[in-house]
Amino acid sequence: MTHKSAYLILLLTVGIKVASAEDLQTLYQQALQFDPNIKSAQLQVEMSEAQRSQVGGMLLPQISANVNISGNNQNIDNHNPSLPGNPVTSNASLYNGQRYNVALTQSIIDLPKVWNWKRYQNIVAQYQSTNEEAAQTLIHNVIERYFQALEARDTLSLIESEIASTQKQVTQMQRQFEKQLVQITDVYELEAKLDLLVADQIAAKTQLDIALQGLTELTGQPTKNLAELRTDISFKELKGSIDEWVTQAEALNPGLSAQNKAIEAADDNLWAQQSRHLPTVDMQLNYYHTNTGQPGYQNQTSEVDTEMAAVNINIPIFSGGTTSAAAVEASKNLEINKQKRIAILRTLIKDTRDSFLSTNASVKRISATEKALQTSTKARQAMDKGFQYGMQTISDVLVSEDREFKAKREILQAKYAYIKNRARFERATGLINEQFLQTVNQWLTLAKS
């Protein structure tokens, strides 16, 4: 195989790996197709629209027709007392009959129907907000679980690199011990550190498997090759005051909007139940055509046409207490929905404030841990040199290495905490959407080897 061919194969292999890396946008599209909550929310909207159409149809004219076609066999026995023996004569006749009826009924005054129609208007709006909430929840879950997996993978990578470095140190220390340059306690301390790192590695692998399973739950298929977080991201603090953001969250959060519509629907239902005590008025138009087909008597026709116009007034008097009980039930349901709104609002305010403060705190934490990493790296390098010249013990070196390792891990945690808190803030304020997901997706790089 020529060097040129080998180079081309290498490029193709790298290209395949890059192309197979799955970013946020890719996993979101997969989750959008397979997420049952999204489908359920959409079906709820369609179902409520069908229910609204049913209720609205009750306010429109109701037209019905009835057709009756009959075959008749008539036998008439005639007694003639004027003749001897009172003979009986029978007359039999066969004839067909037809009856036609067309009726139109239109509600004129029916407040329960009107309030019920308004109720379903609000129910449709409620489920539309619920559908929007499900879409925002999916975006948030994809972002949160994706970066949980990235954090778990980077933590595992960091531990594995530390294990490789410590393994080399253990090998070098054993050789120095064989030459009686160091004490056996120095070897033991390094081996103890290595054992602890191996234990951390096991825990980190478990966390990575759990995080990847969380993504699989969303997409319905396994996820293996994730993109990487870019190193040149500018993490910025959120502007504005907390109170302003809380006000915006109250106005835009779809979960709270859905509960507001649920309260309006429950209030309409209460009015509907209370109005059942009131009279209802409807107009009725009827047309009847009857043709019995029976032979006429003294030239009388068997066809009759009847037209009727009526106004019906229904006055409810007593229904066994069911109307009053239904009104009590509706009032309790209204109060339940108001209490639910209080709970949702309190949670929303807490999430908005917590995510706002945590996002801005993460920016400061990133800056602080970057400085801590610089100083801990310098301290570790100084300790290494001091140990080489016999001025520092292995315990001092291990302490400095642990500080450097901790600083690296805290930088990772701070960066991922910023992203997850920012996504939580966008969701609480009702601003999270596909555009925000695309913005976060730009923080990733597909150059994963």
Q: Choose among 122, 126, 134: nearest CA to 257.
A: 126
Which pTM does this prediction carry?
A: 0.81
HEC-encoded secondary structure of 162-218: HHHHHHHHHHHHHHHHHCCCCCHHHHHHHHHHHHHHHHHHHHHHHHHHHHHHHHHHH
pLDDT given at position 31: 92
How far from 219 is each of 17, 24, 78, 442, CA to CA, in Å? Answer: 20, 11, 88, 21
pLDDT given at position 82: 66
For 208, phi then psi, to 5°, come to: -65, -45
Region label for 132, one of left (φ > 0), alpha (ψ between -120 and 50) or beta (otherwise) = alpha
What number of CA atoms fall less than 13 Å from residue 398's CA on the CB side?
20
For residue 116, count CB atoms less than 10 angstroms from its CB and return exposed for 0-12, middle for 13-18, buried for 19 or more: buried
In sequence order, the 6+-apart residues with CB closer than 8 A to the CB of 449 are: 14, 17
DSSP state of 28: H
In sequence order, the 6+-apart residues with CB closer than 8 A to the CB of 264 are: 122
Measured between alpha carbons, how far is 60 from 333 in angstroms, rounded to an integer? 29
As averages over each run of 10 residues, the pLDDT of the chain (449 residues) reads: 43 43 88 91 95 94 91 70 64 78 94 95 96 96 95 91 82 76 77 88 94 91 88 92 95 96 97 94 92 60 84 92 94 97 97 96 92 81 74 70 82 93 96 94 75
- Give the angle subtended at the CA of 424 by the CAs of 422 and 428, to the nearest 5°: 115
Measured between alpha carbons, how far is 426 from 411 in angstroms, rounded to an integer? 23
Domains, the chain, in order of start with CATH, read 16-59+110-278+322-445 (1.20.1600.10), 63-108+279-315 (no CATH)
Measured between alpha carbons, how far is 359 from 101 in angstroms, rounded to an integer? 73
Residue with tokens 């790996």: 17
